[in-house]
């Protein structure tokens, strides 16, 4: 790519002109702003100290060197300390002819390296997936694909939180008030049924707390001494002791949830290479805690609980094992991390988890280091912000969450209404129309969530996400369908997509802008992988679609009489369609062949 070519020649220029071995950080290249002439801009301020000249003189001197010594450079201009470099038409045409048929443009060769393990989803088996889980799943799945495109060996994993006090709450509520209800008898998906009883538990738990508070107990003490929570804790102790009756109920209710999750994942288009279960990893965590006690890096208190003092690291004391011997989240995360390290010896362990857990993962790394695990530095927490709807925040225990299944159905219904209103399904049969609604609806949902920087909180507006004219998934999908329509008509007319051009062919500014945008794609894939940000790809896809639409409206394609210009524009169209497909694949978004 031209950036690599320029970087090499700029390094040579700096050495020959100023006797300096330039570091990569000193060579700052960026796309030239549209109000200035040029394709690529070099910031020359880092070199003025050694050139002992003004920024303008330094830029002019370096521009003259590049123009004289690099065949790809056409001309240059200087704006203060910025060297704007114009690249010859021949380079852009050569780039087009070499790449427009390349199906995997933007993808790097797969590296022979240690795997990157990406954990996402991580649901609890006491409730169905909700809007927050959707952001988690979409981020994790998209990041996995971006890392794959960047050449990484990726392992996609899910850790199911299938044990703990929250699970016991649903179990106890079903025992008390379920009357043998099942997914079959209720007509509910299994995860919805179990989530129903999590809400039921909270309702009666709050009533018990209110009674205790009315009797003179403070709220904090009441929440610990309410009969329901004590009984739920006893169920957890029985579970860890292997009580047969408790284990059987746990297996039955978790089985309902897994069946429900599988339907949601399939609809959302999410998959994993391996699923871990906390019920199978927490014991390894308890062993590691015991090992830490024996090494003297963890402390067992008089009540039997185990703690680690992290005050020297600027943190507080952290509980690793309760006094009754039951584990906490940190216990099982220790076990899970160790298991993955032993299994994969990964280059990086990425956890896609909400930003409220930032402290937890900082502690996890330090706790592992105290055990002598130097590989703890490979842990990376992809922290993401909260998702809200216009109606406000959601709470699982109060039953006010936005259910993932309901939200996806709303997206399908909204996309159907929008498509019918715009008349985009008149020639579609029933199955084709249904597939289009799902493709548009999921594309709208995924794009709207992924275009936002993961670290930011976001407000999700279903109606806004399906707008065919805004910064949305359907806009990009429609652009792809428009290109495919142009290419079908060209094929029907027998028009050629030319493979080469002679020097007489002109390169219109809109053609060059589209070529520049296509040229950026491989570098942006690497940037997105390095930043762990699908938003980089999402916003690039929108910019590319926007650029193509400007090209489409500004220039004639099928009616162009000059054969070379028409062939060039058709090949540009075909190239753009491939890059849109590749970019949206990295976001987990499908494209319709027609709309």
CATH number of domain containing 82: 3.30.1360.70
Does 121 score more than 70 pLDDT? Answer: yes
Does 248 score more than 80 pLDDT? Answer: yes
DSSP state of 108: P
Q: What is the mean pLDDT of residues 341-346?
A: 96
Q: Are residues 382 and 432 located together in one domain of the fold? A: no
pLDDT band at residue 398 under the 50/70/90 scheme:
very low
Inter-residue contact 583 to 543 (CB < 8 Å)? no
Q: Are residues 501 and 551 located together in one domain of the fold? A: yes
Does 510 score more than 60 pLDDT? Answer: yes
Q: Are residues 57 and 201 located together in one domain of the fold? A: no
Q: Are residues 79 and 16 located together in one domain of the fold? A: yes
Where residue 370 sits, what CATH number does that domain have? 3.40.50.620
Does 519 score more than 90 pLDDT? Answer: yes
Q: What is the mean pLDDT of residues 82-111?
A: 94
Does 399 score more than 50 pLDDT? Answer: no
Alpha-carbon dihedral angle through residues 66, 69, 73, 77, given to the nearest 10 degrees: 30
Owner of token pair 């900082």: 362
Inter-residue contact 537 to 586 (CB < 8 Å)? yes
Q: Are residues 162 and 286 located together in one domain of the fold? A: yes
**Residue 157 bridge partners (DSSP):** 119, 274
Does 279 score more than 80 pLDDT? Answer: yes
pLDDT band at residue 271 under the 50/70/90 scheme:
very high
98 within a domain of the structure (yes/no): no
The parent domain of residue 351 ranges over: 120-388
The average confidence (pLDDT) of the chain is 93
Give the count of beta carbons closer than 10 Å to the beta carbon of residue 465: 24
Does 527 score more than 50 pLDDT? Answer: yes
Inter-residue contact 532 to 384 (CB < 8 Å)? no
What confidence score (pLDDT) does residue 401 get? Answer: 67
Does 499 score more than 80 pLDDT? Answer: no
Owner of token pair 């985009």: 424
Length of the chain: 595
313 within a domain of the structure (yes/no): yes
What confidence score (pLDDT) does residue 464 get? Answer: 86
Q: Are residues 465 and 384 located together in one domain of the fold? A: no
The secondary structure of 148-217 as a DSSP string is: HHTT--EEEEEEEB--SHHHHHHHHHHHHH-TT--HHHHT--HHHHHHHHHHHHHHHHHHHHHHHHHTT-
Give the pLDDT confidence of 415-471 residue by residue, as tens digits: 888 888 877 677 788 888 899 999 999 999 999 999 999 999 998 888 888 888 889
Q: What is the mean pLDDT of residues 527-551?
A: 98
pLDDT band at residue 497 under the 50/70/90 scheme:
confident
Q: What is the mean pLDDT of residues 127-134?
A: 92
Does 498 score more than 80 pLDDT? Answer: no
Q: Which of 27-31, 210-214, 296-300, 323-327 has the lowest mean pLDDT?
A: 323-327
pLDDT band at residue 393 under the 50/70/90 scheme:
very low
Does 548 score more than 80 pLDDT? Answer: yes
Does 492 score more than 90 pLDDT? Answer: yes
Does 277 score more than 80 pLDDT? Answer: yes
Q: Are residues 193 and 296 located together in one domain of the fold? A: yes
Q: Are residues 284 and 371 located together in one domain of the fold? A: yes
112 within a domain of the structure (yes/no): no
Asked which of 338, 363, 388 is the last residue of a domain, the reply is 388
Q: What is the mean pLDDT of residues 65-82?
A: 95
Q: What is the mean pLDDT of residues 278-301?
A: 93
Q: Are residues 140 and 260 located together in one domain of the fold? A: yes
Does 196 score more than 60 pLDDT? Answer: yes
How far apart, in Å, do the first and last CA atoms of the chain sit? Answer: 35
Does 363 score more than 90 pLDDT? Answer: yes
What confidence score (pLDDT) does residue 331 get? Answer: 92
220 within a domain of the structure (yes/no): yes
Owner of token pair 């320029």: 6
410 within a domain of the structure (yes/no): no
Q: Are residues 350 and 263 located together in one domain of the fold? A: yes
Does 308 score more than 70 pLDDT? Answer: yes
395 within a domain of the structure (yes/no): no
Does 236 score more than 60 pLDDT? Answer: yes
Alpha-carbon dihedral angle through residues 182, 185, 188, 191, given to the nearest 10 degrees: 10
Q: How distant is the alpha carbon of residue 82 from its chain centre?
A: 35
Beta strands in 278-371 (DSSP E): 299-300, 306-309, 317-321, 348-354
What confidence score (pLDDT) does residue 273 get? Answer: 97
What confidence score (pLDDT) does residue 466 get? Answer: 85
Give the pLDDT confidence of 51-61 residue by residue, as tens digits: 999 999 999 99
Q: What is the mean pLDDT of residues 23-27?
A: 89
Asked which of 87, 111, 137 is the last residue of a domain, the reply is 87
What confidence score (pLDDT) does residue 390 get? Answer: 74
Which H helix or E strand runs over 383?
Answer: strand 379-384
**Residue 158 bridge partners (DSSP):** 275
Q: Are residues 43 and 179 located together in one domain of the fold? A: no
595 within a domain of the structure (yes/no): no
pLDDT band at residue 183 under the 50/70/90 scheme:
very high
- 3-state secondary structure labels for all residues of 59-105: HHHHHHHHHHHCCCEEEEEEECCEEEEEECHHHHHHHHHHHCCCCCC
pLDDT band at residue 282 under the 50/70/90 scheme:
confident
393 within a domain of the structure (yes/no): no
What is the tally of structural domains in the chain?
A: 3
């Amino acid at each position: 790519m031209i950036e690599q070519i320029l970087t090499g020649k700029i390094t040579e220029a700096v050495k020959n002109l100023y006797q300096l071995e330039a570091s990569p950080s000193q060579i700052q290249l960026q796309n030239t702003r549209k109000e200035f002439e040029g394709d690529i801009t070099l910031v020359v301020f880092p070199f003025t100290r050694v050139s002992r000249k003004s920024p303008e003189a330094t830029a002019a001197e370096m521009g003259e060197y590049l123009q004289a010594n690099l065949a790809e450079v056409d001309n240059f201009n200087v704006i203060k300390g910025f060297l704007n470099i114009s690249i010859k038409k021949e380079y852009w045409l050569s780039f087009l002819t070499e790449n427009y048929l390349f199906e995997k443009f933007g993808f790097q060769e797969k590296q022979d390296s240690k795997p990157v393990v990406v954990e996402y989803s991580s649901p609890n088996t006491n409730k169905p997936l909700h809007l927050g889980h959707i952001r988690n799943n979409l981020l994790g799945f998209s990041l996995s694909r971006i890392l794959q495109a960047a050449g990484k060996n990726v392992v996609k994993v899910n850790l199911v939180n299938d044990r703990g006090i929250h699970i016991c709450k649903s179990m106890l509520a079903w025992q008390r008030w379920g009357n043998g209800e099942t997914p079959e008898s209720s007509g509910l998906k299994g995860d919805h049924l179990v989530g129903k009883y999590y809400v039921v538990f909270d309702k009666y738990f709050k009533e018990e707390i209110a009674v205790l508070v009315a009797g003179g107990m403070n709220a904090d003490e009441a929440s610990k001494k309410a009969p329901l929570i004590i009984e739920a804790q006893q169920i957890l102790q029985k579970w860890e002791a292997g009580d047969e009756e408790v284990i059987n109920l746990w297996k039955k209710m978790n089985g309902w949830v897994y069946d429900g999750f599988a339907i949601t994942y399939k609809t959302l288009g999410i998959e994993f290479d391996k699923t871990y279960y906390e019920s199978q990893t927490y014991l390894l965590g308890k062993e590691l805690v015991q090992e830490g006690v024996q090494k003297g890096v963890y402390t067992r208190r008089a009540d039997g609980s185990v703690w680690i003092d992290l005050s020297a690291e600027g943190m507080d004391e952290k509980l690793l094992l309760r006094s009754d011997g039951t584990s906490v989240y940190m216990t099982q995360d220790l076990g899970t991390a160790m298991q993955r390290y032993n299994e994969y010896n990964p280059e990086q362990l990425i956890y896609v988890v909400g930003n409220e857990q930032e402290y937890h993962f900082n502690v996890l790394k330090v706790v592992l280091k105290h055990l002598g695990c130097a590989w703890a530095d490979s842990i990376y927490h992809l922290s993401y912000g909260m998702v809200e709807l216009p109606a406000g925040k959601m709470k699982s225990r109060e039953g006010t969450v936005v259910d993932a299944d309901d939200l996806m159905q709303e997206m399908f219904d909204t996309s159907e209404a929008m498509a019918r209103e715009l008349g985009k399904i008149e020639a579609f049969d029933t199955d084709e129309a249904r597939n289009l609604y799902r493709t548009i609806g999921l594309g709208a949902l995924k794009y709207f969530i992924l275009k936002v920087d993961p670290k930011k909180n976001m407000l999700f507006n279903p109606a806004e996400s399906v707008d065919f004219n805004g910064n949305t998934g359907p806009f990009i999908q429609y652009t792809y369908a428009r290109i495919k329509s142009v290419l079908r008509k060209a094929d029907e007319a027998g028009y050629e997509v030319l493979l080469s051009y002679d020097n007489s062919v002109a390169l219109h500014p809109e053609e060059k802008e589209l070529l520049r945008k296509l040229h950026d794609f491989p570098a942006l894939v690497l940037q997105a992988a390095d930043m762990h940000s699908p938003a980089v790809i999402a916003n690039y896809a929108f910019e590319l679609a926007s650029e193509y639409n400007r090209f489409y409206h500004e220039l004639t394609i099928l009616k162009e009489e000059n054969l070379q210009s028409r062939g060039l524009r058709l090949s540009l169209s075909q190239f753009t369609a491939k890059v849109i497909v590749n970019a949206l694949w990295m976001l987990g978004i499908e494209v319709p062949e027609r709309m």
